[in-house]
Amino acid sequence: MPVEPLALVLDRREVWPNGVASLQSREQPPALRRLHRASGDALAAAGVALERRPWKPHVTLVRRASGALLPQEPFALGWSADAFVLVESKPGGGGYVVLDTYPRTSATGSAPKSARSR
């Protein structure tokens, strides 16, 4: 799947009811929305059931943060990406395993290296 470079600003902090502290972006760039849609389409075509929860792109900062007080001063962190990775959660919260990496499509339009090797 080709990946177009994207940049977003993580400018929102939140502790979710399940105790996850996260950074989010008030606005998702069009390239991120397109990547999300294309990923969902590919998963659905492969027969994978998609989540019904609203999509909430975020960076997890810490778990078990229930009751944490968030700083009130303005905050903004720039984040850019030109690739993404497919990861699998290890059972029992034991971390993650990287299954594949999808770099940006080259100027020639060739498929990512990981896709060509299959």
CATH number of 1-81: 3.90.1140.10
Apex 83 CA angle, 93 and 14, nearest 5:
50
Stronger pLDDT, 114 or 64, i.e. the higher one: 64
Sequence spans of domains, the chain? 1-81, 83-118
Type of residue found at 12? R
| Percentage above 90 pLDDT, the chain | 35
Work out the average pLDDT over 84-101.
86
**90: confidence class by pLDDT, cuts 50, 70, 90:** confident
22-65 pLDDT, tens digit each: 999 999 999 999 989 998 999 999 999 998 988 889 998 888 99
**78: confidence class by pLDDT, cuts 50, 70, 90:** very high
Residue 7: predicted pLDDT: 92
Residue 3: predicted pLDDT: 80
| Residue with token string 């990496």 | 101
Stronger pLDDT, 108 or 27, i.e. the higher one: 27
Q: Evaluate if residue 105 carries a pLDDT over 70.
A: no
Listed in order, strand segments (DSSP E) in the chain are 6-10, 12-15, 21-24, 58-62, 77-81, 83-89, 96-103
Cα separation, 118 vs 115, whole angstroms: 6
Q: Evaluate if residue 106 carries a pLDDT over 70.
A: no
